[in-house]
Amino acid sequence: MFTGIIEEQGAAVALFELDGAAQLRIRADQVLGGLHLGDSVAVNGVCLTVIELHLDDEANRGFTVDVMPETLRRSTLGGVRPEQGLNLERAVVAGGRLDGHIVQGHVDGVGTIRSRTPGPRWDDVVITVPRDLARYVAEKGSVAVDGVSLTVTEVGDDWFGVSLIPTTLEVTTLGKLQPEITVNLEVDVIAKYVERLLQQTERVGS
């Protein structure tokens, strides 16, 4: 489980295609602390497993992760380019602070930046969302965009708005977002469970 509070902005070294799947090598620093083989790291909001550590490579210290076909289909990771910035977060430690919201690292779909409006100290961004996910997004609710926990400021039938504070603009890749760029979206898991429970209740009652 993750919180959506990004620890550092790493960078892609290379994406290797492997029989429909892939391996992604990532340059990083801060998240390497205490990182072990088999650990989970959220990469642009996608929960991935560390399969190699590169601690002695001074130019490209970091780690490698497997990227399964399902992840390539549902996320933007298949289009990652060398030197592209990546939002990184290690799994939350039991007993630690949950500063963002519950993020599983299970991307639900891909959205597109519709507009970006600079403000005095923040940017307002509107993101299109697939219609089958739009029902899970609520004003003042939470959504993860490329792994970043954000509060929804407004909603439409196929879009939602967020405001990016100075820290988010500086620390994460969202500071570079421009219209037409695609992003990974994970809606609030609680909303999905509520919907599922209501569906089951209706079936039992019918």
Give the per-residue pLDDT at 206. 62
Q: Which helix (H) or strand (E) holds 205?
A: helix 189-205
Residues 68 and 74: their CA atoms lie apart, in Å, by: 10
Indicate if the pLDDT at residue 120 is higher than 70: yes
Residue 34: partners with Cβ closer than 8 Å, 6 or more residues away? 90
Mean pLDDT of all residues in 111-130 = 95
Mean per-residue pLDDT, 79-88: 97
203 has pLDDT over 80: no
Q: Which residue has the tokens 């490329």?
A: 146
For residue 81, pLDDT beyond 70: yes
The whole-angstrom separation of Cα 17 and Cα 132 is: 30
Please calculate the CA angle 129-132-135 and round it to the nearest 5 degrees. Answer: 80
State the pLDDT confidence band at 152, using cuts at 50, 70 and 90. Answer: very high
To the nearest whole percent, how much of the chain has pLDDT over 70?
Answer: 99
Q: Compute the average pLDDT of residues 38-49.
A: 98
pTM: 0.91
Q: What is each CA distance from 176 to 37, 45, 102, 108, 196, in whole angstroms? A: 31, 16, 25, 22, 36
Q: Which strand (E) or helix (H) includes residue 112?
A: strand 109-118
pLDDT mean over 119-144: 95
Work out the percent of the chain whose per-residue pLDDT is above 90. 83
